Amino acid sequence: MVREFKKRELGNVTFKGQIRPDDIKAFIKAFIDASFSQEPYNTIQEKMANVRNIDVGILKKVVEDDSLDVRKMVKRPTSMLFHLRRESSIRSSQAKR
């Protein structure tokens, strides 16, 4: 299911209120049609525009930040602690000036 959501750029589906069979049919049709689309999420959104009891949300992309390498922090916790203490002491000495 997760793989199929990713293919369609679909992050979440929220069912609210009373769901009618027509709502489910519209969602399933939009879900299937999106698999053949160049812009799958937009296809789902367009086809679900008239359905009020089902909301769809886009899949959010996670950007990884390489500035902090957790593996290095785990391997050398004392050096990281030293680095943080050093930065702290530099800042406090600059603030005193």
The answer to whether the beta carbons of residues 59 and 6 sit under 8 Å apart is yes
**pTM: predicted TM-score of the whole model, two decimal places:** 0.60
- Say which DSSP state 51 is in: -
- Candidates 87, 82, 57; CA nearest to 95 is 87
CA separation (Å) from 7 to 25, 56, 64? 20, 14, 20
Average pLDDT, the chain: 78
Task: Give per-residue pLDDT as tens, 68-86.
Answer: 555 554 544 444 444 445 4
Task: Give per-residue pLDDT as tens, 24-79.
Answer: 999 999 999 999 999 999 999 999 999 999 999 999 877 665 555 555 545 444 44
Pairing type for strands 10-15 and 54-58 reads antiparallel
